[in-house]
């Protein structure tokens, strides 16, 4: 298997130590051949610059693919459609099948957060979307709602296989104690309500600050926000303006240290803006929270809420409703047994249904079928990915 990607730089637009942003950089990770290509590196903010970033990746990945050994299938993923389209060009030039994974609906997701308003640009992106769906040999969306959306677009059901996100159960598992980190952060004895992940336009994290303002007089409850993104500086300024002493905001942390942060957390927050589009998504951090046996307060409607109710692993609120968030936090802070029961339910649920190893095998079987039923060997798959 060969994975074609870029130098790691998300979300701040700074290339990680040990890497360079150059046309070709190769390494072996867990036996997988990883090839990194040049891209226009920019922070995760601003529609125009981010689009340049995606287009530059697409061009570099397509050109570089001509230098790679022949593959049996190309799988491309689409957090943005220009990434996914790299697979179309590689498939045509190398005369191999193209499998397109859909992780976000474009352009719907950027329209939903108000990132673009030009009808001409929206119509152009909608044309690219339809072209990609029609041209792919097979489509792999990550939610059932995405599949329903594609069926409404006229894509035949036989061309679509849902493979949902999952979690690495070996990496994400309950850990005992984080007394050293809690002491370091001044959180010893606190009820910690955590948000880990991107601070972006889609998440409406102002809801956390509004809830914290209502609970500012309860020193035992602290909101911990860890991560980065386009809205982080705005949120920091809001926290200062609101005089919140019960909100701690930390930069993005090394992945190796995240188990410590999970260990000191009592509750995990998963929030998005109130939008019909977001009823179709399942944020990946849900699976991480469940695997870590942490109860979730979920501010997302639709398929995510259905999943959480099926897992019996958390409490749902209306998106952007700070009063409901306050009520749920207070309920959980007063009921240790409820927190523990929800956490246990969540861990059991992902172990049974969302083990990433099992889901990876399902994706591999899709590619085998696309290739005509032959068994795919590791070196026979080319994956433009970012």
Q: CB within 8 A of 199, min separation 6: which ones?
A: 205, 225, 227, 228, 229, 230, 231, 232, 235
Q: Is residue 171 part of a domain?
A: no
* Residue 168: predicted pLDDT: 93
Question: Which uninterrupted H or E stretch holds 299?
Answer: strand 296-299
Strand-pairing partners, residue 223, are: 193, 247
142 class by beta-carbon count within 10 Å (0-12 exposed, 13-18 middle, 19+ buried): buried
Q: What is the pLDDT of residues 192-241, one digit of tens each?
A: 999 999 998 889 999 999 999 999 999 999 999 999 988 999 999 999 99
Mean pLDDT value across the chain: 91
Q: Is the pLDDT of residue 382 over 60?
A: no
Q: What is the pLDDT of residues 89-133, one digit of tens each?
A: 999 999 999 999 999 888 777 777 676 778 888 888 889 899 999
Q: Is residue 147 part of a domain?
A: yes
Q: CB within 8 A of 152, min separation 6: which ones?
A: none
Question: Which uninterrupted H or E stretch holds 135?
Answer: helix 119-135
* Residue 80: predicted pLDDT: 76
Q: Is residue 84 part of a domain?
A: yes
Q: Are residues 292 and 362 in the same domain?
A: no
Q: CB within 8 A of 17, min separation 6: which ones?
A: none
Distance CA(2)–CA(32), nearest Å, equals 6
Q: Are residues 189 and 151 in the same domain?
A: no
Q: Are residues 334 and 369 in the same domain?
A: no
CATH of the domain at 292: 3.40.50.2000
Q: Are residues 151 and 262 in the same domain?
A: no
Q: Are residues 206 and 162 in the same domain?
A: no
Residue bearing tokens 């074609």: 4
Please give the residue range of the domain that contains residue 288. Answer: 179-353
Q: Are residues 75 and 144 in the same domain?
A: yes
Q: Is the pLDDT of residue 375 over 70?
A: no
Q: Are residues 76 and 216 in the same domain?
A: no
Distance CA(231)–CA(228), nearest Å, equals 8
Q: Is the pLDDT of residue 41 over 50?
A: yes
Q: Residue 45 CB: number of other CB atoms within 10 A?
A: 19
Q: Is residue 173 part of a domain?
A: no
pTM score, two decimals? Answer: 0.87
Average pLDDT over residues 304-314: 98
Query: How many domains does the structure of the chain reveal?
Result: 2
Q: Is the pLDDT of residue 377 over 60?
A: no
* Residue 379: predicted pLDDT: 38
Q: What is the pLDDT of residues 324-349, one digit of tens each?
A: 999 999 999 999 999 999 999 999 99
Q: Which residues of 47-66 are buried (b: 16+ CB within 10 A; e: fewer)?
A: eeebbbbbbbbbbbbbebbe
* Residue 376: predicted pLDDT: 44
């Amino acid at each position: 298997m060969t994975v074609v990607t870029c130098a790691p730089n998300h979300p701040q637009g700074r290339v990680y130590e040990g890497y360079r942003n150059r046309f070709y950089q190769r390494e072996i990770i867990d036996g997988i051949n990883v090839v990194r290509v040049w891209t226009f590196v920019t922070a995760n903010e601003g529609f125009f610059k981010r689009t340049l970033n995606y287009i530059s990746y697409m061009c570099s990945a397509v050109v570089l693919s001509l230098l790679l050994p022949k593959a049996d299938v190309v799988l491309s993923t689409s957090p943005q459609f220009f990434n996914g389209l790299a697979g179309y060009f590689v498939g045509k030039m190398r005369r191999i099948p193209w499998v397109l994974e859909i992780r976000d609906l474009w352009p719907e997701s950027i329209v939903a957060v108000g990132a673009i308003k030009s009808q001409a640009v929206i119509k152009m992106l909608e044309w690219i979307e339809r072209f990609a769906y029609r041209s792919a040999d097979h489509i792999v969306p990550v939610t059932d709602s995405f599949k329903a959306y594609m069926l409404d677009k006229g894509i035949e059901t036989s061309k679509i296989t849902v493979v949902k996100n999952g979690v690495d159960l070996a990496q994400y598992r309950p850990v005992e104690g984080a007394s050293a980190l809690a002491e370091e952060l001044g959180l010893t004895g606190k009820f910690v309500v955590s948000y880990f992940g991107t601070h972006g336009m889609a998440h409406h994290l102002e809801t956390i600050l509004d809830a914290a303002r209502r609970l500012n007089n309860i020193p035992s409850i602290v909101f911990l926000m860890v991560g980065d993104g386009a809205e982080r500086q705005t949120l920091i300024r809001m926290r200062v303006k609101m005089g919140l002493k019960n909100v701690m905001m930390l930069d993005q942390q090394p992945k190796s240290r995240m188990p410590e942060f999970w260990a000191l957390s009592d509750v995990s927050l998963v929030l998005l803006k109130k939008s019909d589009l977001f009823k179709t998504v399942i944020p990946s951090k849900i699976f991480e929270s469940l695997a870590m046996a942490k109860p979730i307060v979920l501010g997302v409607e639709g398929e995510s809420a259905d999943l959480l109710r099926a897992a019996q692993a958390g409490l749902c609120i209306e998106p952007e409703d700070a009063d409901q968030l306050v009520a749920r936090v207070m309920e959980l802070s007063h009921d240790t047994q409820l927190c523990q029961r929800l956490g246990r339910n969540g861990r059991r649920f992902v172990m049974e249904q969302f083990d990433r190893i099992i889901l990876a095998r399902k994706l591999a079987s899709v590619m085998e079928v696309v290739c005509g039923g032959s068994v795919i060997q590791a070196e026979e798959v080319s994956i433009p990915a970012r």
